């Protein structure tokens, strides 16, 4: 007996593909174009937002971002091959809202209720919008390695005493590395979700087409997370009492909407442009991370 309403919360900073994922998920579950996917049991009472973002996606356009203050509660009635899964609430929250929570250290009571009621978490990251924790010394070493002649010329320069003058830019929490912001946002959920531990988490690496070549196969997304967002990976793995995690690489658009437009349009079904890698993933089945969050996959592997 499944509970009547399941709440899956998408967490992510701005421009990480949360809404595009939802648009493609809506289309895949509604159209039945991907045989292995979850499917729609019935159309939601209010599907205006879902239809609007799907229209963008089907026209091979950039899916409109969720604007703070215009966030929409969206509901999908889903079923799998064993029967009705139930009503799944996907609050489509703006990335700015999460960024604001990290920087300003408060959120609305409604957000708090959504977090505390979440049965699963979709955590979105995007390879091209990452703020990385590069240190000045790392950059200097990289520059040195790239210009070996200058290295030789500078070898005699004495190591200078570190300065304690402040840097050029003023610090702001928004300049912190993406992975640190996400870890703190997940820490906010630690106190509100105690009754449901461990919570299932699907980390979605968006725009997977950009990095897929370097991280092939089912384990590719996990390896990407380990290499590029190590602190987030460490946090999720080491707090296994709180989170049970899988990592997926997802390209809901399938490629670059300008460069790859012809090839993206050259499929029998629009859903076939979707790329997804990760545990238990069938081709184009963007509903797999949702299936994981809903507990429809075993944790054993």
Partner 1 sequence: MTTMPPTGPASPAMQPPEKAGASDELVNLPLGKPLGEVDASEVLRASGAPIVVLVGAPKCGKTTLLASLHDGFQRAPFAGYVGSGSRTLIGFEERCFDSRAASGGEKPVTLRTRHQEGILFYHMKLRDQDLSSPIRQLLLADMSGEHYEDALDSAIALRALTIYRRADHFAHLVDGGRLASNHLSGLTRANALLLMRRCFEERMFDPDAKVDVLVTKWDLALDRIGQEKATNILHSLEQALGVFEERLGRLRIIPIAARPHYKSALQPAYGLGNLLRSWTEEPPRKSTPRERRLPRTNLQTPFDKFALREAAHLYAKADD
Give min distance, CB of 226 to partner 1, in A.
9
- Of the candidate spans 66-74, 78-86, 279-287, 288-296, the one that interacts with partner 1 by CB under 8 A turns out to be 66-74
Using an 8 Å Cβ cutoff, are 118 and 7 in contact? yes
- The piece of 152-160, 243-251, 281-289, 290-298 that touches partner 1 (CB under 8 A) is 152-160
User: Among residues 133, 198, 279, 295, which is the contact residue for partner 1, using CB under 8 A?
Assistant: 133
C-alpha distances in Å from residue 112, one per residue of 22, 115, 190, 298 = 22, 5, 12, 29
Distances (CA, A) of 135 to 95, 107, 208: 26, 31, 26
User: How far is residue 263 from each of residues 92, 108, 198, measured CA to CA in Å?
Assistant: 29, 44, 41
Stretch that binds partner 1, among 20-28, 51-59, 81-89, 135-143 (CB under 8 A): 135-143
Peptide bond into 106 cis (omega under 30): no
Strand order in the sheet with 120-125: 39-42, 72-80, 83-92, 5-11, 120-125, 199-205, 243-251, 275-277
Residue (of 53, 61, 131) closest to 90 by Cα position = 53
Stretch of 40-48, 205-213, 233-241, 269-277 contacting partner 1, by CB under 8 A: 233-241
64 in contact with partner 1 (CB under 8 A): no
Q: In which residue are the tokens 């602190």 written?
A: 231
Applying CB under 8 A, what is the total number of residues that bind partner 1? 68
Beta carbon nearer to partner 1, 28 or 115? 115
- The residues in 78-117 that bind partner 1, with binding defined as CB under 8 A, are 91, 93-94, 96-97, 99-101, 104-112
What residue ranges bind partner 1 (CB under 8 A)?
A: 68-73, 91, 93-94, 96-97, 99-101, 104-112, 131, 133-141, 144, 154-155, 157-169, 171, 173, 175-177, 179-180, 183-184, 187-188, 230-231, 234-235, 237-240
């Amino acid at each position: 007996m499944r509970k009547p309403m399941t709440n899956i919360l998408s967490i992510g900073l701005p421009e990480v593909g949360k809404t595009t994922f939802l648009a493609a998920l809506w289309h895949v579950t509604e159209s039945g174009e991907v045989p292995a996917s979850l499917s729609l049991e019935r159309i939601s009472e209010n599907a205006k937002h879902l239809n609007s973002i799907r229209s963008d996606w089907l026209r091979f356009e950039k899916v409109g971002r969720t604007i703070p203050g215009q966030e929409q509660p969206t509901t999908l009635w889903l079923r799998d091959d064993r029967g009705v899964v139930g009503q799944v609430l996907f609050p489509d929250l703006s990335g700015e809202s999460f960024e604001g929570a990290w920087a300003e250290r408060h959120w609305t009571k409604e957000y708090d209720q959504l977090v505390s009621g979440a049965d699963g978490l979709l955590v979105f990251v995007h390879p091209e919008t990452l703020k990385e924790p590069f240190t000045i010394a790392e950059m200097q070493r990289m520059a040195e390695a790239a210009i070996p002649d200058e290295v030789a010329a500078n070898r005699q320069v004495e190591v200078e005493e570190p300065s304690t003058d402040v840097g050029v830019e003023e610090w702001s929490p928004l300049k912190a590395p993406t992975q640190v912001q996400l870890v703190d946002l997940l820490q906010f959920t630690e106190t509100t979700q105690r009754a449901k531990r461990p919570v299932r988490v699907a980390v979605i690496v968006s725009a997977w087409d950009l990095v897929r070549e370097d991280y092939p196969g089912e384990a590719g997304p996990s390896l990407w997370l380990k290499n590029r967002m190590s602190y987030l990976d460490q946090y999720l793995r080491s707090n296994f009492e709180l989170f049970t995690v899988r990592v997926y690489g997802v390209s809901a658009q399938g490629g670059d909407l300008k460069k790859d437009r012809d090839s993206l349009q050259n499929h029998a079904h629009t859903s076939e442009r979707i790329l997804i890698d990760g545990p238990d993933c069938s081709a184009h089945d963007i509903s797999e991370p949702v299936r994981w969050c809903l507990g429809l996959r075993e944790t054993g592997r």
